[in-house]
Amino acid sequence: MSRPRNAAATKAALLEAAAKLFGERGFDRTTVRDIASLAGVNQALLFRYFGSKDALFATVLATQSRELLEDSPAEHLLRNVLLRMMDEKPRPEDHPLHAVLRSSHHDSAAEVVRRQLGEEYARALSSLTDAEDAALRADLVLAWVVGIGVLRSVFGKQPLAEADPAKVAALVAQAASVLLERTDSG
Amino acid sequence: MSRPRNAAATKAALLEAAAKLFGERGFDRTTVRDIASLAGVNQALLFRYFGSKDALFATVLATQSRELLEDSPAEHLLRNVLLRMMDEKPRPEDHPLHAVLRSSHHDSAAEVVRRQLGEEYARALSSLTDAEDAALRADLVLAWVVGIGVLRSVFGKQPLAEADPAKVAALVAQAASVLLERTDSG
DNA sequence: GTCGGCTGTAAGCGAATGCTTACATGGGGG
DNA sequence: CCCCCATGTAAGCATTCGCTTACAGCCGAC
């Protein structure tokens, strides 16, 4: 009945359970006992395979943020990220940003935001305009996406929480284009 | 040397200390011992005067959110809230949104957001346009303000974190006007 | 076969947390 | 004066937390 011994499978189960719980509850409200219980393994194995709760959290963020950027051509990044943020069909808590937003005080989370969002998202966004303050404009668009995620997923603000993702994306794209338009004068 | 006994002053000191620490660290990372220590009173008094840590948190949110909306004519609400969110001169952690954002899982925090932001901010914002999806557009503008606050205060994202508030407000107002404009056709 | 180490388990340790209780103390009203 | 209760204090309780330790079982190497 008991599955065969398999360290890789155990690690994967812990990682998956941690991603789900960190995303749902944030770092503080998630206990190592909860993670181990959801993964169906003994909690001591969490420390054997990941060292500490902090290290496990960092591993979750690294894994998720790696997935986030691998398939977004710059031109469609805003739309892609926004639609992905809006999409709640499969499992909304799997979105990499959720764990970050719910654990914003954590060093690893803040670092991921500054590095990933800063150096990847924002650079891609800022490439869309040639305004001299392109980086600031990109940050503002990024802030919008983050804010929508916060209001939707964290607070469940209506009507935004249940609005049609395509409609939201259209409205945001329409307004954001004011900030990201090219002057083609330089 | 010791100040005279004064229940009102003690309550006020606890409230102020709690507002500061909840804003800086969020609900979970703030301990009742920290609050009492910062207020310079015995921690048992926290429970005597507020009942529980949860109730103290709710009192803090109620006090702060009451202050937030008392002087914002609808037309200038976006600009006022945004500028206040951007203003870090006095004590950024005093901004009511900070405690909420850092404690988003907490029932009281989520309730405050849904009620205050939902019924006050969003209604005021939605009154600025006559589009049929006014409420959704208002939510999107609100999300923008919240996202800017998150990126700035929580994550310290550059260049947004140190950008000129007036410039940010101008850019946001420019783009948001696309969503909030009146058609004057109905 | 048996030895060694990788995998999994059970129990608990020390610290921190929210909260309570039992007790000082001080100052105003009779 | 002195009594009484509002105010403040010290100590600790029960629980939960991250993490550790001591041990059992399984499997391949030789």
Residues A130-153 pLDDT 10s: 888 999 999 999 889 888 888 887
Residue A97 CA to residue B155 CA, distance in Å, equals 13
Q: Judge contact between B148 and B86, C-beta under 8 A.
A: yes
Please tell me the distance from the alpha carbon of residue B184 to that of residue B173, in angstroms, as a whole number: 20
Its ipTM equals: 0.77
Per-residue model confidence (pLDDT) at position A80: 57
Inter-chain touch B28–A28, beta carbons under 8 Å: yes
Beta-carbon contacts of B109 under 8 Å, excluding residues fewer than 6 positions away, are B27, B57, B61, B99, B100, B103
Does residue B33 lie within 7 Å of nucleic acid chain C, judged by its CB?
yes
Tokens 């009154």, residue located: B127
Least confident of B39-43, B103-107, B149-153: B103-107
Tokens coding B45: 């008094």
What pLDDT shows up at residue A85? 54
Structure-block tokens of residue A101: 């937003």
Measured CA angle at A37 (ends A34, A41), to 5 deg: 135
A50/C14 CA-to-C1' distance in Å: 22
From B12's Cα to the closest Cα of chain A, the distance in A is 27
Question: In whole angstroms, how far apart are CA B147 and each of A126, B125, B143, B181?
Answer: 18, 16, 6, 22
- Shortest CB distance from A155 goes to which of B110, B151, B176? B110
Least Cα distance to B175 among A176, A105, A81 occurs for A176
pTM, 2 dp: 0.78
Q: Chain A window 1-30: which residues touch B at a Cβ cutoff of 8 Å?
A: 25-26, 28-29
Q: How large a percentage of chain B has pLDDT more than 90?
A: 27
Q: Which residue of A has its CA nearest to B28?
A: A28
Q: Higher confidence at residue B65 or residue B150?
A: B150
For residues A163 and A138, what is the distance between their CA atoms, to the nearest angstrom? 24
Q: Do A157 and B118 touch (CB under 8 A)?
A: yes
Judge if the beta carbon of B31 is closer than 7 A to nucleic acid strand D: no
Q: Does B135 touch chain A (CB under 8 A)?
A: yes
Query: What is the model's pLDDT at position A182?
Result: 78
Lowest average pLDDT, out of A145-159, B37-51, B129-143, goes to A145-159
Q: Dmax over Cα atoms in chain A, in whole Å?
A: 71
Search chain A and give the residue with CA nearest B138. A160
- Residue A53: count of CB within 10 angstroms of its CB: 17
Q: For B88-126, what is each residue's pLDDT tens digit?
A: 433 445 556 666 666 766 667 667 666 766 777 777 778
E strand spans, chain A: none
| DSSP output for B61-102 | HHHHHHHHTTT--HHHHHHHHHHHHH--SS-GGGSHHHHHHT
Q: At which residue do the structure tokens 């509850």 appear?
A: A25
Q: In terms of residues, how long is chain B?
A: 186
Chain B residue with CA closest to A151: the answer is: B143
pLDDT > 90: percent of chain A: 30
DSSP A115-155: IIIIIIIHHHHHTT---TTHHHHHHHHHHHHHHHHIIIIIT
CATH topology of domain A52-176: Tetracycline Repressor; domain 2 (1.10.357)
Q: Which positions 66-85 on chain A have a beta carbon less than 7 angstroms from any atom of strand D?
A: none
A54-67: burial string, b at 16+ Cβ within 10 Å, e else = eebbbbbbeebbee
> Å between A40 CA and D28 C1'?
26
The overall average pLDDT reported for chain A is 79
Distance CA A117, CA A97 (A): 10
For residue A45, give the nucleotide whose C1' atom is nearest its CA: C8
Do A139 and B160 make contact, defined as CB atoms within 8 angstroms? Answer: yes
Inspect the interface and report whether the beta carbons of B136 and A160 lie closer than 8 Å: yes
> CB contact, 8 Å: A60 with chain B?
no
